[in-house]
Structures are given as structure tokens and as C-alpha cells.
Structure 1
């Protein structure tokens, strides 16, 4: 299901998702597939084609975090470990723009990721090695102005309180496009869109749909659906997990099948959702 349909009658506002033409890659044989394909980052989007069901690795010069548009969350599994992105497409999808942020003082990379079904004659795609241009300065040689900008961004993200984080997440889900905020230092992170047993009692279905990181804090938006034929009043004391704050978009759900049987809860934590839950 498209995440835009999650919160009716409100429209889901995707963080990213611009489509661009897919660049073609030459076919390689099995032996050559073990050699990483090297790409020099020059601010032009890097095309990353995937084969459904086959994991592809993208290596960066330093540790990175990836911000997936909500349209890709159910279609693409992504993990970032020590500067390597592990990408596995669950379904085919058109080229989609994705931002990858360096966790040190490196650049923000732009990827155009796509996925196509695998065929009997399709070979495995090689790893991708992203390199920096020789003219690009290492972190210790960044200008004072750039360092000041980064420091300001870090301070702003670390100073966001529970209410500010919750407000940011709610605006990302519900606000009109023109009102979606651009908050320096806040990075979208992937979540597993599988139902979790978040609410005690088993009456409410809970599905994580989006998450963001700001400094040392995380905020996760979870869709809640009433699966009973009775109205339900939501109580944060009935939520499983270790949360710094929990805020419901609406604290009362109507019976299943009505327009008001669905809402969202925003959970602030000091670790990723799957670790805090």
C-alpha cells in the first residue's frame, strides 16, 4: 500500500521521491562482478540499479546514514554499517531520488535508486565504490565558514526538545507541502513497515511508517488502527517499549471501518525504534 493512503482523510507528504532517467550500465561477467564499480562523486546523482531479491553494496569513504522517501520504505531494505550501504529490493520500482548523509564532515550524496525483476540470464551486479575527487578537501581542511555552519546545524538538532521533534514528525505526515519544515540536522532514517505489538491488549494494530534522527534522539511515527467494533481511547501507559515521550495525533479511535479508525502516535526515544521497543 502506498504510504500516502495510510492516514485518510489526510494526505501523506513524502520526504523525497523525484524520479530521474535510469543510466545504463554495461553487462559484466561473473568474474568482473567481483570488482567494485568505481564512481567519483562530483555532485551529479549516482544511478544505483538493483535486481529484486539480490543485495547490492555501496561503499562510501566514511560512515553514512540514508534517508529513504516513504514510497520506498516497503519496497527497499537498507542498512548502513561502517560506511557501506546494504540495499535489497523487495519489489521492482522506478528510479527514485535518495539522499545519503556523511556522519562526519563529508558531503551529502545523491543516489537515483531503481529496481528491476531478475531474469535467468541476468548476472549479479557488482558493488559500487564511491570515491571523492582529489580536489575535495578532507574534513580537517574544511573552511572555518563550513565548520561553523556544520556546528550550528549540530547544535540546532541536539537542542530540539520532545515537543519540537514531535511537531516536526507530525508536520511531515500531515502538513501541506508548502508548510513542511526544513530542519537542519534532522535526518530521515528507514523503518521496518511490519506490524508490531505496541499497544497492550491486542485491539490496536501498530505499523511503523517513518522515523527521524536529531542529534542523540529519535522520533518514530507509528500508524495505529482500531481492529475492533468498539471505540477505543488511547492511553500512553499501555504502550510497550522505552520511550522518552509519546504523543497521539488523536487519542480516540472510532470502530473499525469508520473514517476515524486510524491515527498516528509519535514516539521519542534515545535509540532506534527496534531497539527501544
Structure 2
């Protein structure tokens, strides 16, 4: 009597188990990838990297786009004519192009499966799987070592500075990919008072990237005075390889020209470790006895600094 009961429990377990959802594999080989959409249905695109999605202004009100955790979530609220989206790697600046088009869903039609985009240049990507028995860590380490050994035609500080400037000022489609670069976490409350102590300039850290053993940090500079300031890297305090200003001067406070960006390249460590210790001004008068003052009864008593 126990065998039929066990068999029934087994069938119930199989029936209640979640069914794996199919995923469409698309190989990126520098050709735009077609990703059709259905109105009112959300479609997930897995990229396995942090991306920024560039959406044309003409469809931004009809297409909801969200990006998180290496995936892009696309949902069309109305039909959309064939349109091209740009997915940009937030770390390297590399682009992936998607051709989308949204049509109304037909009655009884199944929902579209998620999409996974893989690199079409690798053997594993051709089949959407990792070959059995292959350890990614040694291969990745060899690739990184080979990249370091490769002689660069352009010095790393120049490459990093150009990459940072493009990320801050250029449109997504014009940012040149930079293999090996990675985004670095940066404290936004970093004290930069010692960077240009002789100038009335407020400095704020914006972003930082690393390539090999060098870092580039973008810092926003804002004029706090009413006159023009000529920017000279010789007034900077710290241990830097290079310093490049987006503009050569700052306009008076409150004008469109009162703000620019400074790109600093450091070797072996980031910006926080390359700054000089902050120097606090010392006022000797604050520590000297104050002149005597008369009290109500005519007596004098000395005032001491707190």
C-alpha cells in the first residue's frame, strides 16, 4: 500500500516544481540585434554587465527602460516603429546595438522569452554555455597579463584622460571602447581642500576609472570669486602623474563659465591616497590673553581665549 502513495507524492512534487523559462541567446558580433517587443509586456535583456541605455527622444514616452544588475527591462506602452537602442558598458564604454519594434499582442499568443546577449567571439558564447572543466580564472589572468605586456601606442595617462572626458561630455555613441578599464568607487564627500589651497576654487570629485596600475579621477572645479581665474597645474598640491583641465580658465561666480572639470592621473593608488594632508590655518591671536575689561564694580579682570 505504501508504493502507490509514494508514487502519487512523487508526481505531485514534479507537477509543483517550477518550469525553467526558455531564454533566447543572441550573439553580439558588431551587428545590430533584433529584439521584438509586445505592447504591455515586459521583456528582459540579460547582458551580464552594468549598462546605460540610450533611447531616442521620439520613443522615450512610449518605452519604459530600466537597467539593474546586468539586465535591461523593456516595456512598451504603445506600438513602436523599428527603433535602435544603444547599450553602453558603464565600465569600458563599449556599445551594443538593439533594433526594437513593438506590436500589439495577439489573443492567445505566448509571451516573449527573455534574451541573453553573449560575446560572439568566444567559443563558449557560440553555444551559450561554459565548456566543462574550464576554469575562467587562469584564462582571465593570462588575458590580463597579455594585455599589460602589449605595447601601447598612446601613453596610458592620455588614454585614460580622453576616456574620462568622453564619458562626461560626449554622446554615448561617440565614446570609444577601452579594453581593460574599470570603474572605481569614489567617495563623493572626499575633502579636496588641499588640492588648490591658493585659489578660491571649490573642488568636488565626480568619477574615477582605472587601467592597469593607473587611475584617472574627474574633479569638478567651481569659481568662488567674482573675477576670472587662470588654471595652472603648477599650483596643485599632491602626487600626480598628469593634470588636464577641460578649460584653461574659470569665469566669475554665477556665469556659465564658472565651472570646469579637472582630470588627474595617479599611479599605484587613487586620488584619496595622492592628496597632501589638509593644513588648517593657525591663528596665534586666538591663544593669547585678551585685554582686561572692567566689571560693574570697577574691577578689572582678564579675558582668556576659550
Given the two structures, how large is their TM-score scaled by the length of structure 1? 0.49
Greater length-normalized contact order (CA 8 Å, ≥ 6 residues apart): 1
- Structure with larger Rg: 2
